[in-house]
Amino acid sequence: MTTTFSRRHFLQTAAASAGALLVVGFDTRGALAMTAQSGGNFTPFVKIYPDGTVAAIIKHFEGGQGTATGLSALIAEEMNMTLQDITFETAPADNARYANLFFGAQGTGGSSAIANSFMQYRTAAAATREMLVGAAAQTWEVPFDTLSLKDGVISGAGQSGTISEFVEAASAMDVPAEPRLKDPSEWRVIGVDQKARLDTPAKINGSAKFSMDVQLENQMVVSIKRSPQLGGTVASFDDSAAREVPGFIMAIQMPNNKGVMAYAETTWAAFQARDAIEVEWDGSAAETRSTDALKAELLAMVNAAPEFRASETDLATSSAAIDAAARIIERDFYFPLLAHAPMETMGATIEPLANGGVMLHDGAQSPAAGHAVLSQVLELPMEKVQVNTMYAGGFFGRRSTPDADYLVELALAFVVTDRTRPVKLQWSREDDITGGYYRPAYAHKVRIGLDDDGNILGWDHRIAGQSIFKGTSFDAFMVKNGVDNTSVEGVRENPYQLPLHHIGLTDQDGPTTPNWWRSVGHSHTAYVMECMMDLCAGAAEKDPVEFRLGYLSGDGADQSRLAGVIRLAAEKAGWGQPLPEGHYHGFAAHKSFGSYVAEVCEISTETDGTVTIEKFTAAVDCGIAVTPDVIRAQIEGGIGYGIGHVMRAELTLEGGVVDQSNFHDYETLRIYDLSHIETHIVASSAPPTGVGEPGTPPAGPALANAIAASGAPLVTHLPMTANGVNFS
């Protein structure tokens, strides 16, 4: 992944849209439509209202990760105003203007929002600033350099005026080819440690609107009855009991036969009607396997010759060195299927518009996907499909899937109607947990050879699991020589300089629709790497932190930055210092999505071995820290997501049917599981990288290593509670 920013691309985009948008506006519903008298868009990313209010147009949805605040901070900085004074609006669907510069399409993922936008948003706002100041200079007939913009006021040369006075004149100016960006020494927003999330007020008074909150006049709510057996299809159905449900409208078999859609006046009626529909399922193409058998298959795969090689070093060379070593350490690992289970279950609404088009109301992780799906399924030209991107109640990757699942369902639910009423699709929690869109299960097998002094001589690492990207439209980008990079990322390109490191991969024909899940491949690879580093350190009779640093002695940025967070986390946690009786530390560090995170987990144990997680101490190097407190929050949340799942979460299948259905048996982290997290951010002038995911990978292994430090066996098969660990 590259962070190189194409200036030319920006300017073309900006030139195409600046000014022109001033008169046409971009929201066909009229709410935001503007005229030259009422305000202006100077670039796709900045809007100025007649009263001088500045709005950042955010191209990445806000699903809790703090993007709205982060992107607004970039605009506020170059508009030379405070975060408290700026507001934000979500961008419409428009790949030309709002593409994620790493993806080439509009969408959020890979912890890339700030990284791909950092130069783009600052440049956009700096251009806006120069146009406004330029317009003032022309009006007052004074040199440009004598004026400056601060807090919405342009002043200098004995003159002063608010930006709203110059919106119209500025909009007629050329977009500056190379606006001057503020020097970091002038920054008053970027890097300022403040609690100023822009979405906090709406989220503490109930006014924030999520997809689930859409309440349109005359809308129908659809709930879908899907096959309990993954992949089953409808043979026939009987809706006679559903007809008794007050508010029931109709039941229709999905055009793709994947379920029966219950339409009702309210969500509750739709759920009730859905439950009352009797379906005879065709299971001829459905999943029939159980996770016990699938797990056994994965473990057999990693104990056999791998299907693909993902390393320079081949198996024979690595194995020869290991076989000849003084000591060999080997472990296998198992990672179960996991649901993302964001608090807001999937759903979205299609609203028919007077012009024959539609508006999609969605917490859109990928507006481009919704835009394209609706255009195709409803056979509407792209310009007749609008997207209103709303708040998302968490996502962790779930609101975007390779097959755009819930958006396709919604489009099908709408297309079979007479298209006069809005249609809202709503998943229940049971739909979410049993829905089949999961982090695939993986097994790893690692064999490491050590010499008499505890130095690693060879590392054979085999992974088996279901590929996330094979067979999707991203196949060409993500799969090379048979290896889906997301199956091996974190083992491959790990900053540790390991000798004779062989990486083998075997694909499993898995049971689910695989989906990226917060930190994707790193969600399992970091666990294995960091547990094995601890085992090696133990065998070498070396301190785990010192042992890790020994493999990061190179001059590369990867090595020095990972070593930097390792040292910082160790120092802040008091690593190596005496702990209270019955308390233990565990360490883990990992690079993902360009960011480096080290975490120390402190646990205490009771005499019967019951584990209490006392504290996490984290250090993160994510380059320039744009909004430090948002970074801290993401590391906190990432740690919670990481440990929450390794502790208790697992989905199992019996005959292709998911055993779990809701939070009572797909257990989530609770407030009593974790009381204290301390996050330290490395000061850096490197380009910013993401924080939404990188906090998650080290959390599980830090906990596992702490438990092992207490004298209990290292937990290699997850979740921990199913493998001998009790938590208080």
Partner 1 sequence: MTISLNLNGKTHSVEADPDTPLLWVIRDELKFTGTKYGCGIAQCGACTVHIDGAAVRSCQVAVGDIEGASVTTIEAVSGPEAEAVKQAWQELDVVQCGFCQSGQIMQAVDLLAQHPTPSDDVIDTVMGGNACRCATYTRIRAAIHHAADILEA
List residues near partner 1 by CB under 8 A. Answer: 63-66, 195-197, 199-210, 212-213, 215, 221, 246, 266-268, 271, 341-345, 391-396, 428-429, 629, 633, 636-637, 639-641, 644, 662-664, 668-677
Phi, psi of 653, rounded to the nearest 5 degrees: -120, 140
User: What minimum distance in Å lies between the beta carbon of 301 and partner 1?
Assistant: 31
Of 545, 541, 366, residue with least CA distance to 455: 541
Nearer Cβ to partner 1, position 66 or 179? 66
Q: Which residues have C-beta within 8 Å of that of residue 708, sequence separation ≥ 6?
A: 531, 534, 586, 714, 715
Give the C-alpha separation, 256 to 27, whole Å.
Answer: 33
Q: How far is the first Cα of the chain from the last one, in angstroms, to the nearest whole number?
A: 41
Q: Which residue has the tokens 């690595």?
A: 318
Q: Which residue has the tokens 């099908």?
A: 412
Instruction: Give the SS3 label for residue 162.
Output: strand
User: What minimum distance in Å lies between the beta carbon of 196 and partner 1?
Assistant: 7
Nearer Cβ to partner 1, position 204 or 476? 204
Of 405, 337, 287, residue with least CA distance to 657: 287
Give the C-alpha separation, 110 to 694, whole Å.
Answer: 10
How is residue 84 annotated by DSSP? G
Nearer Cβ to partner 1, position 65 or 487? 65
For the chain, state the CA radius of gyration: 27
Nearer Cβ to partner 1, position 363 or 490? 363
User: What minimum distance in Å lies between the beta carbon of 148 and partner 1?
Assistant: 31
Give start and end residues of each alpha helix (H) in 393-488. Answer: 405-415, 429-434, 475-478, 485-488
Nearer Cβ to partner 1, position 66 or 701? 66
- Residue 366: is it exposed, middle or buried by C-beta count within 10 angstroms (0-12/13-18/19+)? buried
User: What minimum distance in Å lies between the beta carbon of 211 and partner 1?
Assistant: 10
User: What minimum distance in Å lies between the beta carbon of 76 and partner 1?
Assistant: 17
User: What minimum distance in Å lies between the beta carbon of 569 and partner 1?
Assistant: 17
Helices (H) and strands (E) in the chain, counts: 20, 31
Give the C-alpha separation, 527 to 99, whole Å.
Answer: 33
User: What minimum distance in Å lies between the beta carbon of 506 and partner 1?
Assistant: 32
User: What minimum distance in Å lies between the beta carbon of 270 and partner 1?
Assistant: 10
Q: Which residue has the tokens 């590392």?
A: 459
User: What minimum distance in Å lies between the beta carbon of 622 and partner 1?
Assistant: 17
User: What minimum distance in Å lies between the beta carbon of 697 and partner 1?
Assistant: 15
Q: Give 3-state DSSP helix, strand, coil % of the chain, rounded to 5.
A: 35, 25, 45
Q: Taking the CB of residue 268, how many other CB atoms lie within 10 A of it?
A: 14
Nearer Cβ to partner 1, position 200 or 240? 200
Nearer Cβ to partner 1, position 297 or 636? 636
Give the C-alpha separation, 518 to 700, whole Å.
Answer: 13
Give the C-alpha separation, 349 to 550, whole Å.
Answer: 54
Give the C-alpha separation, 107 to 404, whole Å.
Answer: 12
Please state whether beta strands 46-48 and 40-43 pair in parallel, antiparallel, or not at all (unpaired).
antiparallel
User: What minimum distance in Å lies between the beta carbon of 204 and partner 1?
Assistant: 5
Nearer Cβ to partner 1, position 209 or 419? 209
Of 433, 645, 627, 436, residue with least CA distance to 523: 645
Nearer Cβ to partner 1, position 546 or 636? 636
Of 503, 216, 491, residue with least CA distance to 352: 216
Give the C-alpha separation, 635 to 317, whole Å.
Answer: 39
Nearer Cβ to partner 1, position 272 or 689? 272
Nearer Cβ to partner 1, position 342 or 352? 342
Nearer Cβ to partner 1, position 179 or 640? 640
Nearer Cβ to partner 1, position 73 or 372? 73
User: What minimum distance in Å lies between the beta carbon of 593 and partner 1?
Assistant: 18
Nearer Cβ to partner 1, position 495 or 692? 692
User: What minimum distance in Å lies between the beta carbon of 116 and partner 1?
Assistant: 21
CA angle 85–90–91, rounded 5-degree value: 120
The one-letter amino acid code at 22 reads L
Give the C-alpha separation, 526 to 705, whole Å.
Answer: 12
Q: Which residues have C-beta within 8 Å of that of residue 342, sequence separation ≥ 6?
A: 63, 392, 393, 394, 395, 396, 398, 399
User: What minimum distance in Å lies between the beta carbon of 618 and partner 1?
Assistant: 12
User: What minimum distance in Å lies between the beta carbon of 580 and partner 1?
Assistant: 17
Give the C-alpha separation, 199 to 343, whole Å.
Answer: 17
Phi, psi of 410, rounded to the nearest 5 degrees: -60, -45
Nearer Cβ to partner 1, position 64 or 152? 64
